[in-house]
Structure 1
């Protein structure tokens, strides 16, 4: 089922970048049709660069396979995938350190409203809320839910083949389209909700940030786990799938850069095009 894993990971990236991001910006553009919505430039630039790096990591093994230029057929491609995965994991770790430690102020929301306190005259964010659970409670819940999802995933993978035959649907369609839509349902709803509240930075974090996490951490981590388990999981997602991901990253990066450098008010129309691209 290595092919199913590859296709579901690829489908999650495409779903986040086209369907989730397109719906979020389209909804925000409809609600704030007479207002120019703003978002943080640093988030777009860094995530676009990481996504292009991830595409490069997926492109080279595919090209190596289809050009038949390997020194040892099947082994060079796997070795390149494992080496690239380690580099991508290191790059993602550096990105997390950069985001959380060194450049925290660059990721502050642009439209965050700050109001003076009535009593002390200090600036207090109206949107700040006390956390409902502690850090350790959150970690415990995360561990429990991760274990439960892993348990359910075994049954899901076993049921894919039977569902494909019963519904007469290709396994590729289930892996690339249906599974990511169901898996990203919560992200889809939250991205739209925050965009309609004029919080595009959070919507970008949900859509683009999740795509970056899957591309730079999820896929390489699966390759490393397969390496440890002796499974031939590699970064060769086949030429067509890799080309689709490459074009998707370029289109999304171009639209976001266009909104950054030019005053463009047809946000809903532009990102409605992402929905058309996802349908294609």
Structure 2
């Protein structure tokens, strides 16, 4: 998200679009595939299971995000809008607001309901073996985790500006198209943390956390990051028009 904001600030709209699309595809295909493969290799003598309810909820949110992105595109390509340009822009803003509200509701559901509603949906599922294991010892406290998160976020925001400014130069020096860097390389670098953690949890036979990390990241990008950047871009356009 930080990289996308800097790229949007520099007017690299196509890079933003391609990097967000690449992040969604990378999480859903590369990260999940590598995690399942690594988990299958480590636990090749047993069947790994995960919660069906978690997969259903994330699939529904991803489908909702696709619909929110598709409606303005359909209106644009069919040329069926009543007011040229204005209707498409209004629908895009409305869809973004609806997706943000839906994602906020999803977060509230996760934080308030915890696992009660999920267990009702997937009550017929076979419980995982590690459900009866004792809780793992906490390595760092909550405030230490928040402090590390704040420090790393600031550091990433500083490096993101240099990374965005180096995209075109890297494309010329490496003789690679900007689209390849935006869709393939940037998402792999940006999703390195999700990739490593998803594989680690899959190797520990915790597929629910693996799916939550990988598919949840795609859900966050499609329903929150894309929609928020859409509204930010509209605000920037309005400011430029007023100037």
Q: Which moved more, 1:6-15 or 1:141-150?
A: 141-150
**Relative to structure 1, is the Cα distance of residues 148 and 105 closer, same or farther in structure 2, using a 3 angstrom cutoff?**
same
Q: Where does residue 171 of structure 1 map in the other structure?
A: 178
Shift of 1:56: 0.6
For residue 209 of structure 2, what is the aligned residue in structure 1?
202
Match of 1:25 in 2: 36
Q: Which has the higher helix share?
A: 2
Partner of 2:197: 190
Question: Are positions 1:138 and 2:155 aligned together?
Answer: no
String of CA shifts for 1:185-207, please: whole Å, max 9, x gaps: 22112211211211111110111
Q: Distance in 2 between matches of 1:203 and 1:181?
A: 17
> Helix, strand or coil: the match of 1:33?
coil
* Shift of residue 220, structure 1, vs aligned partner: 0.8
Shift, 1:26, TM fit: 1.6
Question: How many residues are matched?
Answer: 222
C-alpha distance in 1 between matches for 2:56 and 2:174: 42
The change in CA–CA distance for 1:223 and 1:112 in structure 2 (over 3 A counts) is: farther
Partner of 1:257: none
Query: Given the superposition, is the C-alpha separation of residues 114 and 173 from structure 1 closer, same or farther in structure 2, using an over 3 Å criterion?
Result: closer
Larger CA deviation: 76-85 vs 11-20:
76-85
Aligned to 1:75: 86
1:261 maps to none
Q: Which moved more, 1:167-176 or 1:74-83?
A: 74-83
Q: How many Å separate the matches in 1 of 2:24 and 2:115?
A: 25
Per the alignment, in what secondary structure is the counterpart of residue 54 of structure 1? helix
Aligned pair 1:111/2:119, yes or no?
no
Normalising by structure 1, report the TM-score.
Answer: 0.73
Give the structure-2-normalised TM-score: 0.83
Please list, as runs of the form range in 1=range in 2, the aligned pairs for 1:249-268 lying within 5 A after superposition. Answer: none
Alpha-carbon distance in structure 1 between the residues aligned to 2:238 and 2:141:
39
Tell me what 2:23 maps to. 12
C-alpha deviation, 1:107, in angstroms: 5.3
In structure 2, how many angstroms separate the alpha carbons of the residues matched to 1:30 and 1:140? 36
Shift of 1:103: 4.1
Preserved CA contact (<8 Å) 1:54 1:215: yes
User: Within 1, Cα distance between the matches of 2:170 and 2:85?
Assistant: 31
Deviation at 1:144, TM superposition (A): 3.1
2:166 counterpart SS class: helix
Question: Cα deviations across residues 166-221 of structure 1 (Å, max 9, x unaligned)?
Answer: 22211111111010111112211221121121111111011111111111111111
SS at match of 2:45: coil
When structure 1 is superposed on structure 2, of 95-104 and 49-58 the one drifting more is 95-104
**How far off its partner does 1:128 sit?**
2.8
**Contact 1:99–1:107 (8 Å) recurs in 2:** no
Q: Distance in 1 between matches of 2:193 and 2:53?
A: 25
Work out the CA distance in 1 between the residues paired with 2:92 and 2:99: 10
The aligned residue for residue 220 of structure 1 is 227
1:230 partner SS: helix
Superposed displacement of residue 101, structure 1: 0.5
Aligned equivalents of 1:151, 1:70: Cα separation in 2:
42
